[in-house]
Amino acid sequence: MAMNKRIGIDELKPGMLVEQLDRSWLDTPFFRHKMTITSSNQIAQLKACGVRTLVVSIEEEHTATQPVNAAPDITDDPAFTVPKETVSVLSIVGLEEELPIARQTYQAAKTIVQNAMYDTRLGRAINMDEVNRVISDMSDSILRNPDALTSLTRLKNFDEYTFYHSVNTSILAMSLGRHLEFDRTTLHQIGVGSLLHDIGKTKIPTEILNKPGRFKPDEMEIMKQHVLRGVEILSTTTGLGDSYLRPALEHHERVDGTGYPHRRVRRELSQFGMMAAVVDIYDAMTSDRCYHKGQAAHEALQFLYRLSLEGHLDAVLVQQFIYVVGLYPVGSVVELNTGETGIVKEVHHHAPLAPVVLLVKSAGNTVLSHPKELDLVAQVETPHRKIAAILDSRQVGINPTDYLDKKAA
């Protein structure tokens, strides 16, 4: 029989079911109402967030040594091997320094996706030398500063949605892979596979692919064919191995078996496929389409979290993805409780609700001639500022990149 007990953070051990914290769950990277501790790293994260006491559920007859209803741990997946040499050995550069390089890399990647899809439509082989080269450049950028390329995934054009979506999915998958400490080879594989995950759309009739509205049931069945057509293209024309094909094959599968094309369940899915499913949904939801306006990042993240609670997506991967992009991703335009307008410049992963913000407008909506950097975690003045709302950058006439890139005109 289980009972609740309040303990100190130093008493917390893997296997314990946490029922309540001494602060809001939103002040931590976990975004849950309860969780089973599966690693010492989670305990360290809770300590870093300032947690001192918590309520745990324990068995009266014996100490919990195995996780109860634990979300699957990424390192438990036999398809995933923890790298011996991780990417953390690389040096980190500032966002301002990396952003101009990231922008050039992003545009190069978009052009290469366009070329790949054009070649595929004509029955020509994809230029894998180009693909591998740009993925290497993207990997280097993400390893130097994970926020630079990620911030550019906001730059979307629904007229070229398929191209931008392919690049964004690759960036987000590699950013997640970096956080999971993939080695360079593994990071490259998830990058290539995600960049080409929608290549099968070149075999879908354009009147369906570009339809300005939702699909009818028969049209949806045709659209679903892009998955297997993409795998066929990649397997017959690129010489890529199985791991590279997984994002294309599995990005519409769900861990509870409700996805397509094969209705596979978690034990049948690869790590790459489950990662691709998460980032594919996120970028699709935050993109403008001809039939709907893209949602704010925090709304898309809340939706992903709900899908994970309902058992459709891998709960650990969703949690880690939220940790990577932050509730307020770099480049988000936000309004503070003071009425001031700012741009998120840096994400504190240990405090997702309190990023570093660049104040660009006063409470009276006056553009500041000299933007002021404010770290919401390290505030001294009272009352403390906090984010009250996310704004549409286009509606308020603010281009975040102009402020984040010190070389911008």
pLDDT digits (tens, 9 = 90+) for 256-293: 999 999 999 999 999 999 999 999 999 999 887 766 77
The predicted pLDDT at position 64 comes to 37
Q: Give the tokens for residue 168.
A: 């964004």
Name the pLDDT band for 214 (thresholds 50, 70, 90). confident
Cα separations (Å) of 363 from 152, 270, 344, 386, 403? Answer: 27, 49, 17, 13, 18
pLDDT tens for residues 79-102? 333 333 344 444 478 888 898 999
Q: pTM of the prediction?
A: 0.75
pLDDT tens for residues 56-83? 987 654 333 333 333 333 333 333 333 3
DSSP string, 149-189: HHHHTT---GGGHHHHHHHHHHHHHHHHHHHTT--HHHHHH
Residue with tokens 């995600």: 194
Q: Domain coordinates of the chain in residue numbers?
A: 2-67, 87-324, 333-404
CB crowding 191-225: b at 16 or more within 10 Å, else e = bbbbbbbbbbbbbbeeebbeeeeeeeeebeeebbb
The predicted pLDDT at position 314 comes to 96
- Mode of pairing for the β-strands spanning 367-375 and 53-59: unpaired
- CATH architecture for residues 87-324: Orthogonal Bundle (1.10)
Phi then psi dihedrals of residue 370, to 5 deg: -130, 95
- The whole-number average pLDDT for the span 361-387 is 90
DSSP string, 200-242: GGGGS-HHHHT-SSPPPHHHHHHHHTHHHHHHHHHHHHT---H
Longest CA–CA span in the chain (Å) reads 68
- Mode of pairing for the β-strands spanning 367-375 and 387-391: unpaired
Q: Give the tokens for residue 189.
A: 């594989």
Residues 138, 131: Cα–Cα separation, whole Å = 11
